[in-house]
Structure 1
Amino acid sequence: MDTVTVNDIQLAYEIRGTGEPVLFISPIIPDGFVPLLAEPALTTRSRLIRYHKRGWGGSTHTPGPVSVADHVADAMALLDHLGIDRVHVAGHSTGAAVAAQMAQDHPDRIATVALLELSLLSVPAGAAFFAQAAPAFEAYAEGDAERALGLFLSLAGGMDRDRCRALLDERIPGSVEQAVKDADTLFGVELPALAEWRFGPDDAAAIRQPVLSVLGSETRPLWVEVAAFLRSAVPDVEECVIDGVGHLLHIEQPRPVAEALARFLARHPITS
């Protein structure tokens, strides 16, 4: 990956393909979009940009607090460096929070927003999810980052730890090891920032761009509730459900996710 210095930090990023630019924002697996960005439905028509948020992977690790607004500022600085005026934005989980905030803060520069299971803790199921994640937080507090990551990813992904580890090892080799290295960011920076992020009905209604909400049919109640919230509050939202997958939908089944995203982008070109 290439690197660029913005906002006094380094961001690692990669670009592949040509066409209208699409910025992909990952959550706790910084290379989580790699399988999706290899799909021909996207690579043949778009300029695909992925990067590691600060605190993740090859980007600078800074101490907290690092807010969603900080991530927005970093992403916009990266786009400025690349000379991109308007862009499609796609985010997964906590990365989708950054994408949603970008759409609110920079409506003139964000053409469309794709939210792959946006993580929003203010819905009723948010508290229940965090209660279920208690063993992961306990393992992290005990200094066992690998076990903590395994428990958290298993819970979020809706699969047992062995299956989750096998999936990630197969689709994104080295991703689990990198996630363990980034455990301090997840538990000490990212999740606290998400808990502080406010995204209510008025915020959702402020997003005037076309929005694609993507959901796995087997996902946790948290993301089902978030999808219902988006359906009720975002003015221009389209929905897509990917059969047979949970929260790691774009890693489990990248092809249908890529095809759904490609159709959405084709309906809403930047040049229109």
Structure 2
Amino acid sequence: MRVDDTDIQFDVTGDGEPMLLIHGSNLADGLRPLASALRRHAPWLTPVRYHRRGMGGSTGRDGKPWQGEPVSVERHAADALALLDALGLPSAHIVGYSYGGTVAIEAALAAPGRVRSLILVEPTLREVPAASLFMQEIAPVMDRYGAGDMAGAVTASLTALDAEHWREPLATIGPDAFDQAVRDGEFFYRAERPSLEDWTFSAQRAAAVRAPVLSVLGTRSGAFFEEGRELIHQRFPHCADADIPGANHLLYLQAPETIAGEVARFLRP
């Protein structure tokens, strides 16, 4: 579907309350297992899963393959809202994971009246104190991206999160999941990461968001994401929490059923 100046690939399952799922930095189909789990745990919801511009089956500007231009958090948030427009949806629940969580926050700040609820699964928030240490820890991964070793960078990042078991949950996305992670990871590194450093979580704009907010956090995800939750609570004092036992930043693959259950409990009519 043409959305503003790009062609967006999307999938809609069901005919209930719309829930827009915004994926993370390196897997356009990464939230497919969660969307399926949501249909089981919350059948009154209709997951709307899409590929962000330049990733997966979506194009870059003017319907062409990505040409190297930077893509900002604000641009992605505008795409998400424009997709709702194209689907004839005045509002939706919004779920965002990692970088997609940052995009989800920006969409809520830009159009608070269009958000029925905001589900934040470990968004990437560079303003927290632990960000500098986190960036030091992932520096070897970034170095591999910079050297053009995209497969090595993806392998290193997944291994750092779950040294022995990442292949099995990754396979739940599909047989080409690793190749997709390599392609989409390169796009994140070259197009999205630079502008992420310029985005700020505005307290003034956040004050306008009245929708229910849920912070989803793995109990093994570490200080960067724990401090991210603290910042979410500062910006959205009405925020509720859901902890995913034994999970880390791969929680969207490790525990989609548990996450879906927590979302269902949070939103149950």
Identify which range, 175-184 or 5-14, moves more after superposition: 175-184
CA distance in structure 2 between the aligned counterparts of 1:220 and 1:55, rounded to whole angstroms: 30
Aligned to 1:109: 114
Aligned to 1:153: 158
Alpha carbons of 1:127 and 1:98: their partners in 2 closer, same or farther (altered >3 Å)?
A: same
The reply to whether residue 21 of structure 1 matches residue 18 of structure 2 is yes
The reply to whether residue 66 of structure 1 matches residue 71 of structure 2 is yes
CA distance in structure 2 between the aligned counterparts of 1:36 and 1:114, rounded to whole angstroms: 12
Matches within 5 A, 1:219-258: 219-258=221-260
Alpha carbons of 1:6 and 1:170: their partners in 2 closer, same or farther (altered >3 Å)?
A: closer
One-letter amino acid matched to 2:125: L
Confirm or deny: 8 A CA contact 1:208 1:235 kept in the other structure: no
Confirm or deny: 8 A CA contact 2:29 2:173 kept in the other structure: no
CA distance in structure 2 between the aligned counterparts of 1:125 and 1:5, rounded to whole angstroms: 39
Q: What runs of 5+ residues in structure 2 fail to find an aligned partner?
A: 61-65
CA distance in structure 1 between the aligned counterparts of 2:175 and 2:263, rounded to whole angstroms: 24
CA distance in structure 2 between the aligned counterparts of 1:235 and 1:52, rounded to whole angstroms: 31
C-alpha deviation, 1:139, in angstroms: 1.3
Confirm or deny: 8 A CA contact 1:32 1:172 kept in the other structure: no
C-alpha deviation, 1:96, in angstroms: 0.7
Instruction: Give the 3-state SS of the residue equivalent to 1:38 in structure 2.
Output: helix
Instruction: Give the 3-state SS of the residue equivalent to 1:139 in structure 2.
Output: helix
Aligned to 1:45: 44
Matches within 5 A, 1:117-136: 117-136=122-141
One-letter amino acid matched to 1:25: I
CA distance in structure 2 between the aligned counterparts of 1:20 and 1:121, rounded to whole angstroms: 32
CA distance in structure 2 between the aligned counterparts of 1:74 and 1:10, rounded to whole angstroms: 10
TM-superposition CA deviations, 1:174-202 (whole Å, max 9, x none): 22111112233121122222211111444
Alpha carbons of 1:191 and 1:152: their partners in 2 closer, same or farther (altered >3 Å)?
A: farther
Instruction: Give the 3-state SS of the residue equivalent to 2:117 in structure 1.
Output: strand
TM-superposition CA deviations, 1:73-106 (whole Å, max 9, x none): 1111111111001111010011011111111111
One-letter amino acid matched to 1:101: E
Alignment partner for residue 89 of structure 1, among 72, 89, 94?
Answer: 94
C-alpha deviation, 1:126, in angstroms: 1.0
Matches within 5 A, 1:133-212: 133-155=138-160, 158-160=161-163, 162-212=164-214
One-letter amino acid matched to 1:59: S
C-alpha deviation, 1:203, in angstroms: 4.1
CA distance in structure 2 between the aligned counterparts of 1:236 and 1:110, rounded to whole angstroms: 15
Give me the CA root mean square deviation: 1.7
Q: How many residues align?
A: 261
One-letter amino acid matched to 1:50: R
CA distance in structure 1 between the aligned counterparts of 2:173 and 2:44, rounded to whole angstroms: 23
Aligned to 1:57: 56
TM-score by length of 2: 0.91
C-alpha deviation, 1:220, in angstroms: 2.2
C-alpha deviation, 1:171, in angstroms: 4.5
Instruction: Give the 3-state SS of the residue equivalent to 1:143 in structure 2.
Output: coil
C-alpha deviation, 1:43, in angstroms: 5.6
TM-score by length of 1: 0.90
CA distance in structure 2 between the aligned counterparts of 1:42 and 1:48, rounded to whole angstroms: 12
One-letter amino acid matched to 2:241: E
Instruction: Give the 3-state SS of the residue equivalent to 1:64 in structure 2.
Output: coil
Aligned to 1:7: 4
Instruction: Give the 3-state SS of the residue equivalent to 1:23 in structure 2.
Output: strand
